[in-house]
Structure 1
Amino acid sequence: MKNTFKLNIVLTAVLTSVGLTACGGGSDDNSTVTVQPEQPSALTDCMWQNSFSSKSGTGEDPLNIAFPDSNVNYWSSEFAVPEGAKVTIDGDYPYSRHFSLVSYTAEGLRVNSLLDSTIAPNKGSVNPFIPGNNRLDKSRSYTAQLELGELPENPVENTLYAPKTEGNKVAMLYRVYVPNKNMDEKGNASFPRFKVQLANGEVKTGNDACNVLQVKRTPIQKTTTISEATSLALFNQQLHEGFPAQQIPTWYKAFSGVDNIKCIYKFDPVTKKPIDKCEGQPVTPKLNYWATPDNEYVFAMTSRRLGKVMELRGKLPPTVKTLNNDPLFEKTDVRYWSICSNELITTATNYCLYDEQIKNVDKDGFYTIVASLPEDRPANATEACGVNYLQLSPRGSGYMGEDGKAVGHGDLGIFIMRNLLPDPEFKQAVQNVKAWGEEKTVMGDYLPDMKYTSKEDFEAKGCN
């Protein structure tokens, strides 16, 4: 087993020519943007690169890393601010459930979120993310500032803070959650546009702003807590059948990468000693892997060696309805909710269900989700029978080596459930869990109960 427990892996996936038309071509990962003004923007403008994606559900997308949500669109930007320069961001609120601009450290630790509902609109415009406002108003522009330095206790309105680093390097992600039906992946809004005022007063916009900011034209780096070799060594401990899945399926709150590795593999990567259980272990509430500050997560490890079908039953917190171009933005317990099937080793996402896709609840407000491979899907795991279905992937952990068959890499699964921006009065949110072992006590019925079952046993329940 290796003694090095932290390795940043540079993702070398090659973007398509469509994604690079506005930002130049070439293969040098460390090169910067030299924009040709006559080349129109196709998918991204020169500030933004295609980023995390899980649209195919296979886990094989080259940018399917860091456990992305398949109902969210992501773009990244890495650049360097000239000393003494001021950076302004002009944007338009998208027609969507949520959007944000989030700054990060180079290691993928989240720093600050410029959150949709907190961004004051320009004069004459409307912020459609304020409860009660018209979501479909056509006047929807805003202006924000980028500030390098520590996040203050009382942040200035319309300001995104990024850590001050050597060379003033900045990393950020732009997210758009669930665009309205029949709208593009950006929610029918343009990308946030950058304007740079240099120390000498000269102002740069458009392609000139990208050039002066030395925008990287490569995807954001993949950051992992431990190397793949170490992950495989820990996986291969096989402390029990189905390891590292819990034999009794159990949800745990996601904390720092080191904490999560410790809980999943029952091994402390700092002390290099085994642990008996997650409950009672100290935790650090700092998420990495390019997570957003607006979400908190619980995860559960499962294995088809312990049961080929998973049955989940819980309550869905009230969420904002937006997909069908709903006109008003309502106050709800949670802005967005989803549950996804994922790959532990690759950090890819396979399939997700989000709140508006949960079509069936019983008279008490409970949903039932059945998760399996397609060939193991019970005949009554259908909407007609009141059941919501979440597909699993035969890729399991995502490690496809021949040596992984004996220890069950193809059988492993990891569920991740998100709560985005809960109302402060909603006490059952993931955000209110502060330690492992508190999950069910805090969340109650909003943390779904899970159990292993089989196709035959679930079909024996009949329909409805």
Structure 2
Amino acid sequence: MKNTFKLNIVLTAVLTSVGLTACGGGSDDNSTVTVQPEQPSALTDCMWQNSFSSKSGTGEDPLNIAFPDSNVNYWSSEFAVPEGAKVTIDGDYPYSRHFSLVSYTAEGLRVNSLLDSTIAPNKGSVNPFIPGNKRLDKSRSYTAQLELGELPENPVENTLYAPKTEGNKVAMLYRVYVPNKNMDEKGNASFPRFKVQLANGEVKTGNDACNVLQVKRTPIQKTTTISEATSLALFNQQLHEGFPAQQIPTWYKAFSGVDNIKCIYKFDPVTKKPIDKCEGQPVTPKLNYWATPDNEYVFAMTSRRLGKVMELRGKLPPTVKTLNNDPLFEKTDVRYWSICSNELITTATNYCLYDEQIKNVDKDGFYTIVASLPEDRPANATEACGVNYLQLSPRGSGYMGEDGKAVGHGDLGIFIMRNLLPDPEFKQAVQNVKAWGEEKTVMGDYLPDMKYTSKEDFEAKGCN
């Protein structure tokens, strides 16, 4: 039986309805804020399906695919717009770090993002995602349009563009990043609500809108760049100990799925020829397979065969503080930052740390993260000792076949680090890396240094 996994290695950032479970997300602040949105008159929750999720933290979960971020909630919608119809989207800005509606091609190629900060509010409402604005104002509604056609050079305000296809089929994802503390997974806002005006002028809302749009009642399906058999064959090359991990751990920016496969496995799936290194290879600056246009990523392959403990040291870019119901939206270098451990073959996410969970930085603004399996965790890899801890994948690459043990599937790991919506003046963002090999030059201290170590060697450093 041909079994394919989503091995696009496109490092997307998608997640369904979870809170801050996989990464903790807790705080010592016990304050409670109860802010409820106004009840809409015509809900269209029927438009939305639970999508990719890392709630389980394991690739055993069939929805834990496409490298979801554990601090983000995701829902999908696939439907068909009747010819000549106009689609309106009514929504409420969630109480969260970020939200967006993103349209895609049927193959998952990102097309357009209706980005929170660019959505003009309804009269009397406030957009809480604009720097300087109040985040907790109760008047927070907006109205947008769905337009089928090419994305213009100058998009119309409050318009989400989706590609014109046969049958007018549309695929979109709704993302909510880091809901405020004590609020639900949608950030105490209802789902975006759809209204359809047919060509004859008739208006459909609620369940009638879902019916006329022929909404698909299942989550967005997996897509694949290469088959499981091909990915296992590439893995089995075992060009060196720990392959496909770099013996000197190295970050690479994520480009297209084909590019990333080429870099990881040192094999070009187009030319069918091996490559010596990623640096200098041509790349396509286009992430696909349900990636968000608002994020860019770097990834690094690791193997416990090269060292059971990873030590990372880097600088955290200033980010917006939102979890504890902060009252104002601030201007910062990056909207959101995270680092996650993942399974290469299944593309599952295991554990993540995001910016507000990095509790310890030194006087120069540097953090230290230790990553390992629980049994290898150094005794001083604790907050009390100034160290942030990230657990590695307990399933390695996620491939659990007996034939995978000898070649190191159980030892492999992949780190993914995200930068969301950097300020244009922040030149050290992932977004400014244009080719493999220039990651450190561009990002400087904001790209963490990595090294293999051991439990004993790290414990020898003591507790700061």
* Both structures adopt the same fold (TM-score exceeding 0.5): yes
The offset of 1:35, in angstroms, is 30
Q: Do 1:19 and 1:50's aligned partners in 2 also have CA atoms closer than 8 Å?
A: no
| 1:73-117 superposed Cα distances (whole Å, 9 cap, x missing partner) | 000000000000000000000000000000011111111000000
| 1:231-276 superposed Cα distances (whole Å, 9 cap, x missing partner) | 0010011010000000000000000000000000000000000000
Q: Do 1:427 and 1:442's aligned partners in 2 also have CA atoms closer than 8 Å?
A: yes
Q: Do 2:126 and 2:139's aligned partners in 1 also have CA atoms closer than 8 Å?
A: yes
- Going from structure 1 to structure 2, the CA distance change for 1:138 and 1:428 (only over 3 Å counts) comes to same
Q: Do 1:86 and 1:146's aligned partners in 2 also have CA atoms closer than 8 Å?
A: yes
Q: Do 2:372 and 2:391's aligned partners in 1 also have CA atoms closer than 8 Å?
A: yes
Which residue pairs with 1:292 in the alignment? Answer: 292
- Going from structure 1 to structure 2, the CA distance change for 1:58 and 1:24 (only over 3 Å counts) comes to closer
| 1:363-400 superposed Cα distances (whole Å, 9 cap, x missing partner) | 11000000000000000000000000001122111111
- Going from structure 1 to structure 2, the CA distance change for 1:179 and 1:159 (only over 3 Å counts) comes to same
Between 454-463 and 28-37, the greater mean CA deviation after superposition: 28-37
The offset of 1:28, in angstroms, is 47
Which residue pairs with 1:359 in the alignment? Answer: 359
The offset of 1:15, in angstroms, is 15
- Going from structure 1 to structure 2, the CA distance change for 1:7 and 1:28 (only over 3 Å counts) comes to farther
Stretches (4+) displaced over 2 A: 1-44, 58-62
Q: In structure 1, what is the Cα distance between the partners aligned to 2:34 and 2:274?
A: 51
Q: Do 1:95 and 1:179's aligned partners in 2 also have CA atoms closer than 8 Å?
A: yes
Q: Do 1:433 and 1:439's aligned partners in 2 also have CA atoms closer than 8 Å?
A: yes
The offset of 1:58, in angstroms, is 2.4
- Going from structure 1 to structure 2, the CA distance change for 1:30 and 1:403 (only over 3 Å counts) comes to farther
Q: In structure 2, what is the Cα distance between the partners aligned to 1:204 and 1:170?
A: 18
Q: In structure 2, what is the Cα distance between the partners aligned to 1:322 and 1:3?
A: 42
- Secondary structure of the residue aligned to 2:98 is strand
| 1:255-301 superposed Cα distances (whole Å, 9 cap, x missing partner) | 00000000000000000000000000000011012110000000000
Q: Do 2:253 and 2:299's aligned partners in 1 also have CA atoms closer than 8 Å?
A: yes
- Going from structure 1 to structure 2, the CA distance change for 1:8 and 1:128 (only over 3 Å counts) comes to closer
Q: Do 2:112 and 2:151's aligned partners in 1 also have CA atoms closer than 8 Å?
A: yes
Q: Do 2:81 and 2:213's aligned partners in 1 also have CA atoms closer than 8 Å?
A: yes
- Going from structure 1 to structure 2, the CA distance change for 1:82 and 1:28 (only over 3 Å counts) comes to farther
- Going from structure 1 to structure 2, the CA distance change for 1:431 and 1:212 (only over 3 Å counts) comes to same
Q: Do 1:19 and 1:44's aligned partners in 2 also have CA atoms closer than 8 Å?
A: no
- Going from structure 1 to structure 2, the CA distance change for 1:33 and 1:104 (only over 3 Å counts) comes to farther
The offset of 1:10, in angstroms, is 17
- Going from structure 1 to structure 2, the CA distance change for 1:32 and 1:82 (only over 3 Å counts) comes to farther
Aligned-residue CA RMSD in angstroms?
Answer: 7.5
- Going from structure 1 to structure 2, the CA distance change for 1:22 and 1:413 (only over 3 Å counts) comes to closer
- Going from structure 1 to structure 2, the CA distance change for 1:272 and 1:30 (only over 3 Å counts) comes to farther
- Going from structure 1 to structure 2, the CA distance change for 1:10 and 1:414 (only over 3 Å counts) comes to closer
Q: Do 1:87 and 1:146's aligned partners in 2 also have CA atoms closer than 8 Å?
A: yes
Normalising by structure 2, we get a TM-score of 0.92
The offset of 1:424, in angstroms, is 0.2
- Going from structure 1 to structure 2, the CA distance change for 1:453 and 1:15 (only over 3 Å counts) comes to closer
The offset of 1:12, in angstroms, is 20
| 1:173-213 superposed Cα distances (whole Å, 9 cap, x missing partner) | 00000000000000000000000000000000000000000
The offset of 1:334, in angstroms, is 0.1
The offset of 1:225, in angstroms, is 1.3
Q: Identity of counterpart residues, as a percentage? A: 100
- Going from structure 1 to structure 2, the CA distance change for 1:293 and 1:325 (only over 3 Å counts) comes to same
- Going from structure 1 to structure 2, the CA distance change for 1:6 and 1:296 (only over 3 Å counts) comes to closer
- Secondary structure of the residue aligned to 2:152 is coil
Q: How many residues align?
A: 464
- Secondary structure of the residue aligned to 1:442 is helix
Q: In structure 1, what is the Cα distance between the partners aligned to 2:218 and 2:34?
A: 13
- Secondary structure of the residue aligned to 1:299 is strand
- Secondary structure of the residue aligned to 1:87 is strand
Q: In structure 1, what is the Cα distance between the partners aligned to 2:34 and 2:97?
A: 34
Q: In structure 2, what is the Cα distance between the partners aligned to 1:145 and 1:416?
A: 34
- Going from structure 1 to structure 2, the CA distance change for 1:103 and 1:27 (only over 3 Å counts) comes to farther
Q: In structure 1, what is the Cα distance between the partners aligned to 2:26 and 2:462?
A: 58
Q: Do 2:3 and 2:227's aligned partners in 1 also have CA atoms closer than 8 Å?
A: no
Q: In structure 2, what is the Cα distance between the partners aligned to 1:314 and 1:21?
A: 25
- Going from structure 1 to structure 2, the CA distance change for 1:353 and 1:38 (only over 3 Å counts) comes to closer
- Structure 2: where are the runs of 5+ without partners? none
Q: In structure 2, what is the Cα distance between the partners aligned to 1:419 and 1:25?
A: 18
Between 343-352 and 58-67, the greater mean CA deviation after superposition: 58-67
Between 227-236 and 3-12, the greater mean CA deviation after superposition: 3-12
- Secondary structure of the residue aligned to 2:441 is helix
Between 59-68 and 155-164, the greater mean CA deviation after superposition: 59-68
- Secondary structure of the residue aligned to 1:223 is coil
The offset of 1:56, in angstroms, is 2.4
Q: Do 1:22 and 1:44's aligned partners in 2 also have CA atoms closer than 8 Å?
A: no
The offset of 1:38, in angstroms, is 22
- Structure 1: where are the runs of 5+ without partners? none
The offset of 1:4, in angstroms, is 11
Tell me if 1:50 matches 2:50: yes
Q: Do 2:295 and 2:418's aligned partners in 1 also have CA atoms closer than 8 Å?
A: yes
Q: Do 2:110 and 2:288's aligned partners in 1 also have CA atoms closer than 8 Å?
A: yes
| 1:212-243 superposed Cα distances (whole Å, 9 cap, x missing partner) | 00000011011121111110010011010000
Q: In structure 1, what is the Cα distance between the partners aligned to 2:249 and 2:4?
A: 30
Q: Do 2:17 and 2:53's aligned partners in 1 also have CA atoms closer than 8 Å?
A: no
Q: Do 2:179 and 2:187's aligned partners in 1 also have CA atoms closer than 8 Å?
A: yes
Q: Do 2:19 and 2:179's aligned partners in 1 also have CA atoms closer than 8 Å?
A: no
- Secondary structure of the residue aligned to 1:177 is strand
Q: Do 1:33 and 1:217's aligned partners in 2 also have CA atoms closer than 8 Å?
A: no
- Going from structure 1 to structure 2, the CA distance change for 1:20 and 1:345 (only over 3 Å counts) comes to closer
Q: Do 1:29 and 1:218's aligned partners in 2 also have CA atoms closer than 8 Å?
A: no
- Going from structure 1 to structure 2, the CA distance change for 1:285 and 1:453 (only over 3 Å counts) comes to same
Q: Do 1:22 and 1:42's aligned partners in 2 also have CA atoms closer than 8 Å?
A: no
The offset of 1:39, in angstroms, is 17
Normalising by structure 1, we get a TM-score of 0.92
The offset of 1:62, in angstroms, is 2.2
Q: Do 1:30 and 1:216's aligned partners in 2 also have CA atoms closer than 8 Å?
A: no
- Going from structure 1 to structure 2, the CA distance change for 1:285 and 1:8 (only over 3 Å counts) comes to closer
The offset of 1:42, in angstroms, is 15
Q: Do 2:10 and 2:287's aligned partners in 1 also have CA atoms closer than 8 Å?
A: no
- Secondary structure of the residue aligned to 1:278 is coil
